[in-house]
Structures are given as structure tokens and as C-alpha cells.
Amino acid sequence: MKNKILIISVVMLSFFAITAKAQDLTNYNLYNQNPFLYNPAYSVDKCTFTGFLNSHIQWMDFDGAPRVNTIGVRGNISPNSGLGLTVFNFKSGVIGSTDINLSYAYKAKFGDEHFLSMGLGLGFLTDKIITEDVVAMDMTDHMLIGQDAKETTVTTKFGMAYQNKNLEAQVIFPQLMQRGKMNYYTIGILSYKVDATADLEVKPSVMVRGAKTTPLQFDGFVTATFKKMVWLTAGYRSNNSLIIGAGANLSNYSVGYAYHAEMNDINKAGKGTHEIQLIVRLGCRDKKEPVAEGPKSIKVTGNVVDKQTGDPLTAKVVITNVNTGEVVFEKEVTGKFETNLGVGVYKAEFTGNIIPKTEKFEIKESTNKDFKLEVKSIKTLDKTFNLGSVNFETNKSKIKDDASYKILDQLVDIMNEYPDLNIEIQGHTDSDGSDDANLKLSQDRADVCKEYAISKGIEAKRLTAVGYGETKPIADNNTAENKAKNRRTEFKIVD
């Protein structure tokens, strides 16, 4: 009789101890690969359906050590919402718990790359004594077969998840209502994905968990994934333990294994903890949504550069669908730009402080690669541009050297490239000499430039020559260097 009382007392004491406090939350080791293990916010996901099985075997050789099996399914009921179901079965010695939880989550999108999900779970938790594992003198005792051996309570949990392109942050209350009491045990998880190479993705993560009445626990993990198929993970837990794991993603299936080694006295009592996980995912979609509507979308990349130096130029770019007249792209850019366009004929206009340019191009059904659009132009200021120094003999209108002719040849090339362009050739001098003499000299020099362009085939009606003498200096005429700047030939675009 004494043995019976002793055994029953130990069993009941264990039972009431576990039901008097919050459930000892399982230290899953593969939660980075399956965030739905903890967080009901992942009831909605990029995959239409997910099912998983997780087996967590703690302290392998320790008799009566915890064993946890978790099975779950989740599915989207709309693009922004989903339902989930998890069944959690816990066994430690003669104590067992079963938690069946139904969850709902909603995902909101902010901007192009920001998502916030919130999930709520509601379920039932049954704590019980596993009587078949109890050795007693009288197995018909009401304490083993009556209501005292089992208790069922309502449970709730809540979680949030923020996702950016590479950043993921979670806040979870996994036992918000537990055994009739509010429990603010909290889990926080932060991770960041880095594309180390085209094939290698590295993802460090940190977890913090605990409550006012329990010490904080910290996890630190680094996971490396090769070609989105094979992954390795390693981590440290603040109770002085190490975790390593590996797995593979094969089509719609994922399998993973983790080993948890205690680096303390617990290790002497039994071997480490093993965890195995199998996940099935169906109907997964890429996070990136097509930018342009229609049956086909091609990325168009453009670059606006200086014709002489190759440096980026600032310009206003307007792309119009010639067939519909719709403006499909309008933006001020510096150098490179990109957009996505469907099949059609387009006109791209480049304006601003450059020589204006128009390009026409077509995207066909047969186009199967990115379309590149490079525009070379000349920077202008108030529609005026300078191609370099046209040198003349002193006090004369005779061109001095071949370099000067090459500058005028550039002007001819530009006017041939832009057949609608009309140019005013402007002659300028420094302040040496009389005003009248400088005015005449600048006019004569502008006329020489005009005649040269006409001799190269440019129509005379497209050219105007004007001498401004010393009336428009760009620097003070107080040094030889500044005077050289003022002796110049410029070209202005006229309507």
C-alpha cells in the first residue's frame, strides 16, 4: 500500500506541477526552415499548400526524456489570407499533452517589397497521465482512470511577421492563453538573407525568448543554401549548447535534420537531441510580380551618356506606345534606367540639358531577351554647347590647325545625325582691342565656321552665324588664362 501511495503521489505531483505553469515550449531546432512551427502568421504564405511532420527526440539515452511529434497543414484561402492546423503531441515519462490548434492569418502589402502578416491560433490542450506507463498496486484507482488523470483547456496564440526583400522579423506569443491563464511568454526572431554569390545564399538569424518569470534564452544561427537546394546550418544556444543541421529541397519536398549537443552536465545523462522534419509544398509562386501587364513583358534597359566622354548625362525620358498613344514611362534619369514593356512599337524622347534625341523601337512576340537602348548626346546649357576650342590665327579669321577642323567635323556629324536640328554658330573674343574690331572679328570667324559646315553638305538654311565680340565673357579678362576662355566658338540650338 505504501508503494502504491508513493507511486501515485509522484505521478500526481508531476501532473499538477506541469498544469500549474505554462507549457514548457519545445526548443525546436528547425524553426528557421519552418517558421509555422511557432508562428501562426505563416498560415498565409507564398505556397498555396504546405504540410509538415516534425519529430523532436530530446536527450536520446535518457529514460523518460521529452519526445515531441508535431504535424501541421496550412493553405491559402485567398492571396492575402490563410488557414492552418497543427497537432502537437508531447510525452515525458508518464506525462503527456496533446495540443490541437486552428489558426488564421492575414497578410498586408505596403509598397513593392514590404509585407506584414498577423496570425491568431485557437485550440484545445489536453494534459493527461499515461496510465499504461504507470506501475501501481491497484490500476483501477480513480486517480488513474478518472477525471483527475486528464484535463482539457482552451489555448490561444498570436504572431506577427514582417518581410522585406531580405529582412524578416517575427514577434510571437505562442501561449497567450494557456491552462486558463494569460501567459506573455514571447519569442522574437530576426533574420537577414545575403546573396554571397549567384549560387550561395547566407542567412544569419537571432532568436530571443522568455518572460518575466523565466530567464531569457538566446539562439544564434547561420544557414548557408547552395543553389536553393542544399543547406547547412550551425547555431549556438545560450544554455551552452551547439546545434548543427543539414537538409535538401527537392522539387516540392524538403527534408531536414538537426543535432543538438548539450555542453553541460545534461550531456552526461544522455546523448544529444535529434530533430527530423519533412515538408511538402504545393503551388508556390515567386515573390516578384510582373511589373508590366499583358501576355509578355520585356525588361528595357537604357543609358544616356555624353557622346564625347561617355559620362552619364541627366535627361528627361518619355517613352510612348505609338499604337495607343499612352505614355508608359516618364522620368528624369542620370545615365542608366530600366522599365518593363509589353509587345508594341515605342517612341523614346530624350530632352533636357542635352541635344534632344528621339529613338523608335519595337518589342515583338519573338523578343526573348532584355532590350538595350543606349543614347549618346551632348550636354547643353541654355541650349548652348561647346565641342572644344576652334583656334584662329591672331587677329584673323583663318582657322589655324587640324584640331580645329576636327571640332567642326563633329558639328557636321551632329547635324547629320539630327536632321531637324538648326544651329547658331556664335563667335566670341576677349577684351583686347576695340569693341567694333572685336565684334567684326567674331562675326568673320563665325562666318568661316558656317561656310565650312556648308561645304561639308549641311544646308545653309539650318545655320546662322553671329559674332558677339567681347559682350558675353564667361570669365574676367584680367589674366591670360581667362582671356583664352573668352576667345571661343559655341553652338546654340535654335527653333
pLDDT tens per residue, range 14-68? 333 333 343 457 889 999 999 999 999 999 998 999 999 999 888 776 667 788 9
361 lies in the same domain as 440: no
Query: For the segment 293-318, what is each residue's pLDDT rounded down to a tens digit?
Result: 445 688 899 999 988 788 999 999 99
339 lies in the same domain as 487: no
Give pLDDT, residue 366.
78
CA distances to 226, 277, 316, 376, 494 from 355, in Å: 49, 63, 12, 9, 11
Kindly state the cell numbers that stand for 328: 508608359
Give pLDDT, residue 143.
54
- Residue 275 maps to which CATH number? 2.40.160.40
> Is 237 within 8 Å of 219 (Cβ atoms)?
yes
311 lies in the same domain as 232: no
Separation CA 395–CA 433 (nearest Å): 10
| 134 has a pLDDT exceeding 70 | no
The pLDDT of 158-176, averaged and rounded, is 92
304 lies in the same domain as 263: no
| Residue among 103, 88, 87, 89 at smallest CA distance from 40 | 103
Q: What is the largest CA-CA distance in the chain?
A: 132
Residue whose C-alpha cell is 508531447:
90
State which of 283, 309, 336 marks the end of a domain. Answer: 283
364 lies in the same domain as 390: no
| 1 has a pLDDT exceeding 60 | no
pLDDT band at 6 (very low <50, low <70, confident <90, very high): very low
257 lies in the same domain as 397: no
Which structural domain range is residue 220 located in?
2-283
CA triple 246-248-250, angle to 5 deg? 170
What's the chain's average pLDDT? 84
Using only C-alpha atoms, the chain has a radius of gyration, in whole angstroms, of 39
| 264 has a pLDDT exceeding 70 | no
pLDDT band at 12 (very low <50, low <70, confident <90, very high): very low
351 lies in the same domain as 401: no
Task: Count structural domains, the chain.
Answer: 3
Kindly give, in sequence order, each residue whose CB lies less than 8 Å from that of residue 89, ignoring residues fewer than 6 positions away.
68, 69, 70, 96, 97, 98
Query: For the segment 76-118, what is each residue's pLDDT rounded down to a tens digit?
Result: 999 899 999 999 998 877 788 899 999 999 999 887 678 999 9
- Residue 341 maps to which CATH number? 2.60.40.2190
| Residue among 332, 329, 371 at smallest CA distance from 348 | 329
State which of 283, 308, 343 marks the end of a domain. Answer: 283
In a domain, 289, yes or no: no
Kindly state the cell numbers that stand for 281: 509544398
The pLDDT of 135-146, averaged and rounded, is 54
81 lies in the same domain as 208: yes
In a domain, 290, yes or no: no
State which of 224, 257, 283 marks the end of a domain. Answer: 283
390 lies in the same domain as 359: no
| Residue among 180, 199, 202 at smallest CA distance from 191 | 202
Q: Rounded to the nearest 5°, which phi and psi values hold at 452?
A: -65, -45
In a domain, 292, yes or no: no
In a domain, 398, yes or no: yes
- Residue 431 maps to which CATH number? 3.30.1330.60
174 lies in the same domain as 257: yes
42 lies in the same domain as 59: yes
128 lies in the same domain as 23: yes
Give pLDDT, residue 94.
72
In a domain, 291, yes or no: no
> Is 356 within 8 Å of 379 (Cβ atoms)?
no
Buried b (16+ CB within 10 A) or exposed e, 77-116: eeeeebbbbbebebbbbbbbbbbebebbbbbeeeeeeebe
In a domain, 412, yes or no: yes
